[in-house]
A and B are shown apart, each in its own frame.
Chain A
């Protein structure tokens, strides 16, 4: 029972992170190594607004998501766009940005872990399991956000443009879809998703400069397992990994759960290079 409830919470955070990561890949064909930096920026933005700005929790968290989305757009415009022709250059620049963010945060806020207050305090019993209310909220909000994203892509005009570009960027440009704008928008969306994961999970985790690295590595693993660029694949893989890790932590040992996720990646690469639901073997 505990595995089911807590595994669902873990999976939902992973899914939020992985969906953003795979979205930007599917549309703009870039691997964004600054994804973890978005996660960290959101945590610190919320921390600053709440502890130094004296904001109430909910507005501060919404603002943090917005700030991170803008940061994402800025990263795309300033750093990624001029280098878009080269995959390796984009990998390098986003990695450099993530390191710069991590070190910048260390310099500005020192190395110690900070704390974010939860949106709702207290515990809830679900299916006979005691869960912190914030975790349950995380699960609910994640499901809603991913659902909304799905609707947005499938139903709206902008979503149709995004889909068009992801399927055939050249043809999309011919019919007048402004690719660069769409890329920036998707980067912002992706950053906002990472930011949401951050402000939801940070109250039961913590805010520190290197907080983005492991989530980013996890997001990688999930995206590779699910198939680069496939949103349903990422969600499926996030659940697979989330539940497996929780199961291992409960029934074997929490120290091994991370190693298992990466072992799964290598197995997947060897057996099914395109991932669970990936269409193409990379590009």
Chain B
């Protein structure tokens, strides 16, 4: 087994002045301890103020328990060190540095805010620890892995890359909207951010090819609270379906204002908040009939999906946020790579990670050359599920796993009511 000789730049000083500081010897002693069955440490940095962060922590805990119950990893126990990412970049980066330098974790699983992760990337690259991102979805992360592979190859992501998502959205438009419902006039409402604008551009081009037409392409700001002007323009453009592309914007306000003014346009799309299991309650049920893109819902997507949802609910009392299964997947992917590599050496584990073929909760996980999970048939896909009465989520697309009939908003008589 290869020890882990990743002493930071200060390490040499450590050797010289080892006796000065109380903790000084730790960095040097570590490789020796590693061979004698010391626990393997996984660091997680997630924001605890939001459900997504708390669910990720819970799910990682369950996954680690599971592996420990099976005898651990390489015969060693696995431990979790946690740092609150908070909503503040400086504190988030400090947390990652604490995990890397103080807690001396062997790998990182977590990271929700793209800005914070991008800021932490140089530190991770310096420390050379395998890192699995479970939330941060900025394309800029994968771009850097590709551009500077030698430095950033330790970084992987188990969620769909934002720029891969347009294919799924287009598939929904052509198959469901145009193909089944005959809705050809689409209004786009996209967030003022790169990933959303990228998808919007691809959607405008792609729509023409599948016989649909984009009637209006609106941009909203993260701080927008009054969506009336946007809803009004979507409506007057004659759109039959409003496609939203939102992550950090206030989609919950859009939901309420769409419902309160009874906008006569069907609605669906990507909305970071509408993925949450408790979204229906959060907006007082006003998302009724909204068709939300999800990374997974409780449906037979893979053999693991339903058991995961049910056991999570049994243990926590609620259905998981998406970061729960991306965290569980992320840890398992890492654990299997370690077992194949039979070592914790980061470079060896990275090589094995690149060969990952893991049946996750929301699909099979394989990594592309940018270390993003691939999407496509059998891999990761968006599941379009409609919010129906009592907060039930009914899968509409892909058709193969459709779980019920579509409904329309109570103020519309049928889906093709002109806008």
Residue A232 is within 8 A (CB to CB) of chain B in the complex: no
Residue A154 is within 8 A (CB to CB) of chain B in the complex: no
Secondary structure call for the A interface: mixed
- Nearest-neighbour CB distance to chain A for B77, whole angstroms, equals 32
Is there an interface contact between B250 and A121, defined as CB atoms closer than 8 Å? Answer: no
Is there an interface contact between B260 and A6, defined as CB atoms closer than 8 Å? Answer: no
Chain B residues with Cβ below 8 Å from A133 are: 260
Residue B192 is within 8 A (CB to CB) of chain A in the complex: yes
CA distance A117 to B9 in the complex (A): 57
- Nearest-neighbour CB distance to chain B for A266, whole angstroms, equals 20
Is there an interface contact between B49 and A132, defined as CB atoms closer than 8 Å? Answer: no
CA distance A2 to B235 in the complex (A): 13
Chain A residues with Cβ below 8 Å from B229 are: 2, 6, 246, 249-250, 254
- Nearest-neighbour CB distance to chain A for B358, whole angstroms, equals 31
Given A111-B50, A117-B284, A250-B232: A206 in contact with B219 (beta carbons within 8 A): no
Is there an interface contact between A121 and B220, defined as CB atoms closer than 8 Å? Answer: no
Among residues of B, the one whose C-beta sits closest to the C-beta of A131 is: B261
Is there an interface contact between A112 and B50, defined as CB atoms closer than 8 Å? Answer: yes
Interface residue tally for chain A (C-beta within 8 Å): 33
Is there an interface contact between A254 and B226, defined as CB atoms closer than 8 Å? Answer: yes
Residue B224 is within 8 A (CB to CB) of chain A in the complex: yes
CA distance A111 to B276 in the complex (A): 14
Residue B228 is within 8 A (CB to CB) of chain A in the complex: yes
Partner of B224, one of A132, A206, A250, A254: A254
Chain B residues with Cβ below 8 Å from A254 are: 220-221, 224, 226-227, 229-230
Chain B residues with Cβ below 8 Å from A72 are: none
Is there an interface contact between A111 and B256, defined as CB atoms closer than 8 Å? Answer: no
Residue A10 is within 8 A (CB to CB) of chain B in the complex: yes
User: Which of A10, A132, A258: most chain B Cβ within 10 A?
Assistant: A132
Residues in A lying within 8 Å of B, measured CB to CB? 2, 6, 10, 106, 110-115, 117-118, 121-123, 130-135, 203-206, 214, 246, 249-250, 253-255, 258
Q: Apart from A6-B226, A113-B250, A205-B225, what 11 extra A-B contacts exist at CB < 8 Å?
A: A6-B228, A6-B229, A111-B87, A112-B49, A112-B50, A113-B252, A132-B260, A203-B256, A250-B232, A254-B221, A255-B219
9 A–B contacts from the bound complex (CB under 8 Å): A112-B50, A112-B282, A114-B282, A121-B260, A135-B260, A203-B256, A206-B256, A249-B226, A254-B220
Residues in B lying within 8 Å of A, measured CB to CB? 47, 49-51, 87, 192, 219-221, 223-230, 232-233, 250, 252-253, 256-257, 260-263, 282-284
